[in-house]
């Protein structure tokens, strides 16, 4: 082939795309049981870690634009998982906080990462876990390199 750089097997992005889709598919059964989608699960994880934060803070953590996250938050509010309110100190900011329902979901969701490892048949030996942590850290390094390109 004249354009080797255009072969799918030579792309850096395709394995990331494929792995992402396959992991999300593996999560599906557990997320269906909770009644949420993967993007909603990501929002919930952000809020379980830091409740009562702004829409902008959620968007920044998830590397999304606010115009992408706002409709997602609206749907989650209708579902009773969270509530949005204007900041008392700055009317331009919208604060997002978990409802009791959203907070209670945390206990059910706590087992999802372990079940994913089981589904993937990941060896949980110390050496393998260290390798997975190393891979995760390298991916975060790559995110840091790519974020300025995205802006």
Helix (H) or strand (E) holding 100: helix 100-109
- The reported pTM is 0.89
* Dist CA 70 CA 72 (whole Å): 5
| Number of C-beta neighbours around residue 70 at 10 A | 16
Residue 1 — pLDDT band, cuts 50, 70, 90? low
For 11-110, which CATH class?
A: mainly alpha
For 45-73, write each residue's pLDDT tens digit.
999 999 999 999 999 999 999 999 999 99
Residue 18 in tokens: 């494929």
Q: In Å, what is the CA distance from 92 to each residue of 5, 53, 122?
A: 46, 13, 45
For 63-102, write each residue's pLDDT tens digit.
999 999 999 999 999 999 999 999 999 989 999 999 999 9
* Dist CA 85 CA 96 (whole Å): 7
Q: Which residues lie closer than 8 Å to 109 by C-beta, 6 or more apart?
A: 30, 34, 41, 44, 45, 48
């Amino acid at each position: 082939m004249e354009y080797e750089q255009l072969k799918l097997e030579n792309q850096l992005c395709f394995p990331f795309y494929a792995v992402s889709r396959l992991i999300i598919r593996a999560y599906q059964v557990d997320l269906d049981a909770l009644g949420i989608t993967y993007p909603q699960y990501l929002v919930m994880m952000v809020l379980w870690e830091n409740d009562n934060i702004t829409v902008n803070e959620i968007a920044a953590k998830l590397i999304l634009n606010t115009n992408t996250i706002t409709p997602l938050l609206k749907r989650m509010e209708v579902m009773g998982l969270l509530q949005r309110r204007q900041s008392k100190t700055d009317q331009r900011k919208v604060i997002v906080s978990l409802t009791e329902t959203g907070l209670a979901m945390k206990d059910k969701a706590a087992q999802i990462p372990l079940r994913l490892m089981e589904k993937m048949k990941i060896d949980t030996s110390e050496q393998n876990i260290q390798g997975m942590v190393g891979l995760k850290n390298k991916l975060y390094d790559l995110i840091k390199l790519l974020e300025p390109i995205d802006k």
